[in-house]
């Protein structure tokens, strides 16, 4: 399937499954990896007057919900983008009272922004990317970060039991339609790309089936 067709199929599937995903909440392990990467970084930045964050593939805003509970959340200016318009509409409804959060419908590769960010993060987004786009995403993130800013990728590992079970489930047609385009990334490959994209430091964290790659500019 060509890249463009695949992209529109992914958007269509997320639009269609918006109400299913809107009820979803993350597991304990998922929250733990988020705490150990994204929230730890935000805590290290809390003395700043203003913290600018970009979340790519924000879905219905699950992770902004946790960020919003931080004691210093008023200092945070959050932008969440997602190429599923329906998911963005849901996020806007959930967080309509939050003046420090903006949700926009956009494909990251076409997203233009003059702002420089303290943190850019991608949670379960790389599993939907074409492998050839990994380095484009990393380079773009690096260019959008302030000096000493962070990029974080959280996802499941390609070479894992979980990934094997998903591949088997797809092969046996036992999984819902929205799994069709899931292909987990290899974190050793992402680590190499992080280093070749000239991030100053690249660190990997693991909690059960989840991995986080924390890259500092
Ligand atoms: C599995 S969902 C994860 C959503 C959210 N990060 C979470 O953890 O709840 C992946 C999301 O990434 C979005 N996405 C995938 N590729 C994207 C791209 N190139 N630009 C913007 N959004 C993208 C999809 O529309 C989808 O909402």
Domain map (residue ranges) of the chain: 25-55+62-77+107-216
* 25-55+62-77+107-216: in CATH 3.40.50.150: yes
The rounded Å distance from CA 159 to ligand 1 centre is 21
175 vs 156, 184, 213, CA distance in Å?
17, 15, 27
Q: Is 30 in the pocket of ligand 1 (CB under 6 A)?
A: no
Say if strands 76-82 and 51-56 run parallel, antiparallel, or are unpaired: parallel
pLDDT reported for residue 60? 97
Identify the three-state secondary structure at position 205.
strand
Torsion sign, CA atoms 157, 69, 61, 177: positive
Residue with structure tokens 């639009």?
15
pTM > 0.95: yes
Q: What is the largest CA-CA distance in the chain?
A: 52
193 vs 135, 149, 189, 198, 199, CA distance in Å?
6, 17, 6, 9, 9
Percent of the chain residues topping a pLDDT of 70 = 100
pLDDT single digits (tens) 114-151? 999 999 999 999 999 998 999 999 999 999 999 999 99
Identify the three-state secondary structure at position 113.
coil
Which structure tokens are listed for 13? 């599937």
pLDDT reported for residue 1? 77
Q: How does DSSP classify residue 114?
A: -
Q: Is 59 in the pocket of ligand 1 (CB under 6 A)?
A: yes
The rounded Å distance from CA 13 to ligand 1 centre is 11
Q: Is 14 in the pocket of ligand 1 (CB under 6 A)?
A: yes
Q: Is 62 in the pocket of ligand 1 (CB under 6 A)?
A: yes
Say if strands 201-207 and 210-216 run parallel, antiparallel, or are unpaired: antiparallel
CA dist., res. 63 & res. 65, Å (int): 5
CA dist., res. 114 & res. 200, Å (int): 22
pLDDT single digits (tens) 13-37? 999 999 999 999 999 999 999 999 9
Q: Based on the number of CB atoms within 10 Å of its own CB, is 91 exposed (0-12), middle (13-18) or buried (19 or more)?
A: buried
Q: Is 84 in the pocket of ligand 1 (CB under 6 A)?
A: yes
Sheet with 76-82, strands from edge to edge, namely 101-105, 76-82, 51-56, 117-123, 145-156, 210-216, 201-207
pLDDT single digits (tens) 70-100? 999 999 999 999 999 999 999 999 999 999 9
pLDDT single digits (tens) 165-204? 999 999 999 999 999 999 999 999 999 999 999 899 999 9
pLDDT-derived band at 2, boundaries 50, 70, 90: confident
């Amino acid at each position: 399937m060509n890249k463009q067709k695949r992209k529109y199929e992914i958007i269509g599937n997320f639009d269609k499954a918006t109400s299913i995903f809107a009820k979803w909440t993350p597991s304990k392990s998922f929250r733990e990896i988020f705490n150990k990467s994204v929230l730890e970084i935000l805590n290290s930045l809390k003395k700043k007057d203003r913290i600018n964050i970009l979340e790519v593939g924000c879905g219905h805003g699950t992770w902004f919900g946790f960020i919003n509970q931080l004691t210093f959340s008023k200092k945070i200016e959050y932008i969440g983008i997602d190429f599923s318009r329906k998911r963005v509409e849901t996020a806007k409804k959930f967080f309509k009272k939050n003046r420090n959060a903006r949700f926009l419908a956009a494909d990251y590769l076409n997203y233009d922004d003059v702002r420089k960010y303290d943190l850019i993060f991608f949670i379960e987004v790389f599993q939907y990317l074409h492998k050839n786009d990994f380095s484009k995403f990393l380079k773009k993130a690096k260019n959008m970060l302030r000096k000493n800013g962070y990029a974080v990728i959280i996802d499941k590992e390609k070479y894992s039991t979980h990934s094997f079970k998903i591949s088997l489930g797809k092969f046996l047609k036992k999984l819902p339609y929205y799994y069709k385009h899931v292909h987990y990334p290899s974190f050793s490959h992402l680590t190499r790309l992080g280093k070749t994209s000239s991030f100053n430091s690249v660190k990997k964290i693991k909690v059960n089936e989840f991995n986080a790659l924390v890259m500092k500019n």
